[in-house]
Amino acid sequence: MPDNKSRPSPEHPWENGWAPDTSRVPGTRRLWLAGVLAVATVVVCVATVSLTDRPSGERSAARSGRTVSDKETSPGLISFASPSASGSPSAPAARASASPSAQASSSPSPGGSSSPPPPAPSAPPSPSASAGGGGSGPQPVTVRRSVRSVNYPDRYWRVGGGQVRLEAAGGSEFRADATFTVVNGLAGGACHSFRTSDGTYLRHRDFVLRAERDDGSSLFRQDATFCARPADSASGAVMLESVNYPGYFLRHQSFQVKLQRYQNGGQYAADSAFRLVEGLA
């Protein structure tokens, strides 16, 4: 068995022949431990400071173990599609730049199914084309015209006493009363309205054609708007249909111009055909 030598008493180290080791500096182990602890503290502080200075997105990526590239350091980490070679915008930009009208036409109807737009109505013959034998030039916004009967070619519309009658051509006063400015229809640009020299308009009231001043009402605008249709009884002549009474046309009867329902052939076809000629005044 090994000898069990008891440690000498610190109070009397010289007893039993034991002496302290003077070759080692006292507290060396503690100094080493303190140094290692100081170095570890410095490393931890430096790592904490560097982590605090990094952007929030990069810190979150670092915590998740993901490598963050230089392109992802912008706020929100939003990525944008690269532009195409043709320079066309991306799909969201193209949808945003679409015109409101295009979006409205592509939107579904309230019933859930999209329906095609109704076909545009065919334009009636213009007064200038009827008077000039079918000229192809653009129609001006306003033209001065006189309205001549087909079956009474020496008689014209003339305003007298507030009503329109068919009368034979006369002097300067007659020419002024028988000349009208044809404008786009008050109730629709595809049709026409007739304005007199004193600023009134021809309108039907009680189915009689009269000259009255515009009162601004919707009824007046419709009563004063007529659409030109080709007349069957004479080439180049027109029939004037009421815009608010479809199927009713202006015709002269006992030389008074009235609005009457369409009748096929006979006297009605001859009395309702007119030519819009160059203004007499």
pLDDT of 10 > 60? The answer is no
Task: Pick 274 or 39 by higher pLDDT.
Answer: 274
- Please state, in angstroms and rounded to a whole number, the distance separating the CA atoms of residues 174 and 156: 10
DSSP state of 76: G
Residue 163 lies in a domain: yes
For the segment 55-84, the average pLDDT, to the nearest whole number, is 42
Residue 215 lies in a domain: yes
So what's the pLDDT on residue 20?
55
Residue 222 lies in a domain: yes
Place of tokens 């799909």: 91
Residue 102 lies in a domain: no
Residue 156 lies in a domain: yes
Phi first, then psi, for residue 75 (nearest 5°) are -60, 135
Mean of pLDDT over the chain: 72
CATH code, domain with 212: 2.80.10.50
Min mean pLDDT across 6-15, 115-124, 153-162 is at 115-124
222 three-state secondary structure? helix
Q: What is the pTM of this model?
A: 0.52
Highest mean pLDDT among 76-90, 96-110, 137-151, 250-264: 250-264
For the segment 195-202, the average pLDDT, to the nearest whole number, is 96
- Please state, in angstroms and rounded to a whole number, the distance separating the CA atoms of residues 232 and 205: 26
Q: How confident is the model at residue 7 (pLDDT cuts 50, 70, 90)?
A: low
What token pair was written down for 198? 């004193």
Task: Pick 194 or 49 by higher pLDDT.
Answer: 194
Phi first, then psi, for residue 249 (nearest 5°) are -125, 155
Residue 3 lies in a domain: no
Min mean pLDDT across 20-34, 75-89, 126-140 is at 75-89
Count how many domains the chain has.
1
242 three-state secondary structure? strand
Angle (CA) 176-204-178 rounded to 5° is 10
What are the start-end ranges of the H helices in the chain?
A: 28-53, 56-63, 91-96, 100-106, 127-132, 172-177, 218-223, 266-271
Per the structure, the complete domain to which residue 247 belongs is given by 127-278
